Structure 1
Amino acid sequence: MLRVAVFLDYANVNSASLSSFCKVNYKALLEYLADYDEGRNLTVAYAYVPIDPRREHAMDDEITMLWDSGYIVRSKVGVIAGNTYKCNFDIEMTLDIVKTSFEIKPDIVVIVSGDSDFIPVVTELREKGIRVEVASFDQSMSQLLSNRCSGRILLDELIEEGNGHYSLADDVQNEIEKECE
């Protein structure tokens, strides 16, 4: 049984799904990435959620949903930057990835993000013999990151259209869903 650790860059994945007018089922995503029937045993899953300082409780429902879906949620209040806010989690994610890799020693680390900022940690883990998979929508997948990882999971390719919403083929129904508005 392969030990799997998952790290979800919520802002990156949520932004890509919203630009497609769709919503990701994060519980089903986690079950797909650590499918026990495929010999993949989930050891830990983290989700990193930025908080808008102008609306600190706007993400409460999403955070609760992520906790209920099996993620350990790390949130951080961003800082105002003009008409928006900035909340960069790359350092915190990288530290947790490295810490988890050395303490828990997973066989596979799955980074759910297409952000090229993760290239150094991907390279380091691969040099240590850890398989690093990157899961992302094609539109937000950095080509450099895609080339550096051990394997990539394009969320777009796992989804097919059917009856007004998107889901996996019938044999793996409910693994990942995204419902279009």
Structure 2
Amino acid sequence: MLKVGVFVDAENIKFNGGYQLRYDILRRFAARANGTLLRLNTYLAFDQERARDDPEYAKKSYIYQQMVRDYGWKIIVKNVKRYTDEEGNITTKANADLDLAVDAMLQAENLDLILLVTGDGDFLQVVTALQNRGCRVELLGFQNVSKQLQRQVDAFYRGYLIPDLLPFPHEPRNEWGKTGSCVRGVCTKWFPDKGYGFLRFIRDVSPNLWITDPRDPESPYESVFCHINELAEELTPEMMMNRETVVEFHLKESDVDDGLIATNVRLVYAPT
């Protein structure tokens, strides 16, 4: 049985598109191949100085930590440190890189698969070392994910595309994949001369995420028709033709066939 460990660089994710990440969904994603979750570590920042002066901050932090624990995660709290430069400017930092790297290396001999949730390129050597010890290393990130890190890992997943991993603030009761629901996906084909193309989204979390062709009956992906009139102003044909561009759209039944069409297509993420 596949032994799995998950290590979340929570601060990096929080400030790079993953704010409000749902730890219950992340846990399901990590165990999608019926693996045994041996380690579930997340490294959270806590500002002790602010907590002393702001009871509301302290209360919300403790409630959030307890909620994450209730999902079965081990929380490693990193206290925020303040640094003052020569000009008197104060910066704060709660770096968990070293703790995460050491924990992952120490646990490597007990694990078959390690899921790193981060975008920090500083983990490049850690990934290589873990792979050399026989672990498969996968990466999940949102924005500002190191290109070198993406190339080094065994698989990279853009967090925006994982069903329900991030909530839709404007769709509190969203049922991902259902007609009328809101989903996130990428454009697989775009015909600028014809003014239409096809989008693809993950219908449900599955061990077959490598089967990206929606025509395969075992594929968890679904294809959706999209007309240029449904694109928001900021979306250009060039952006649509880039497979890294992530869009958000509503699903509607087609009047022509049994398929789905995309409406109200908005930009979520575009590579720089």
TM-score scaled by length of structure 1: 0.80
Q: In the alignment, which residue of structure 2 is the partner of 1:152?
A: 156
Unaligned runs of 5+ in 1: 174-181
Distance 1:83 1:168 in 2: 43
Does residue 48 in structure 1 map to residue 31 in structure 2? no
Deviation at 1:29, TM superposition (A): 1.2
Amino acid at match of 1:107: D
Amino acid at match of 1:70: G
Amino acid at match of 2:36: N
CA contact (8 A) 2:163 2:204 kept: no
**Higher relative contact order at CA 8 Å, sep ≥6: structure 1 or structure 2?**
1
Amino acid at match of 1:39: N
What is the correspondence of 1:1-181 to structure 2 with a 5 Å cutoff? 1-17=1-17, 23-35=20-32, 38-56=33-51, 57=58, 59-81=61-83, 82-102=89-109, 105-137=110-142, 139-159=143-163, 164=171, 168-169=176-177, 172=204
Partner secondary structure for residue 42 of structure 1: strand
Identity, in percent, stands at 25
Query: For the structure 1 residues 167 and 144, does the alpha-carbon distance in structure 2 shift closer, same or farther, using more than 3 Å as the test?
Result: farther
User: What are the superposed Cα offsets for residues 94-141 of structure 1, whole Å, 9 maximum, x if unpaired?
Assistant: 010011113xx211000111111111110011112210001111x131
Deviation at 1:167, TM superposition (A): 6.7
Deviates more, 1:56-65 or 1:156-165: 156-165
Q: Which has the higher helix share?
A: 1
Task: Give the number of equivalent residue pairs.
Answer: 165
Partner secondary structure for residue 64 of structure 1: helix
CA contact (8 A) 1:53 1:80 kept: no
Deviation at 1:32, TM superposition (A): 1.3
Distance 1:71 1:25 in 2: 12
Deviation at 1:84, TM superposition (A): 4.1
Distance 1:109 1:29 in 2: 13
CA contact (8 A) 2:108 2:133 kept: no
Deviation at 1:76, TM superposition (A): 1.8
TM-score scaled by length of structure 2: 0.55
Q: In the alignment, which residue of structure 2 is the partner of 1:179?
A: none
Distance 1:149 1:27 in 2: 24
Distance 1:29 1:109 in 2: 13
Instruction: State the superposition RMSD in angstroms.
Output: 2.4
Amino acid at match of 2:22: N
CA contact (8 A) 1:6 1:110 kept: yes
Distance 1:32 1:167 in 2: 17
Distance 1:125 1:91 in 2: 15
Larger Rg: 2
Deviation at 1:14, TM superposition (A): 1.8
Deviates more, 1:114-123 or 1:76-85: 76-85
Amino acid at match of 2:177: A
CA contact (8 A) 1:53 1:85 kept: no
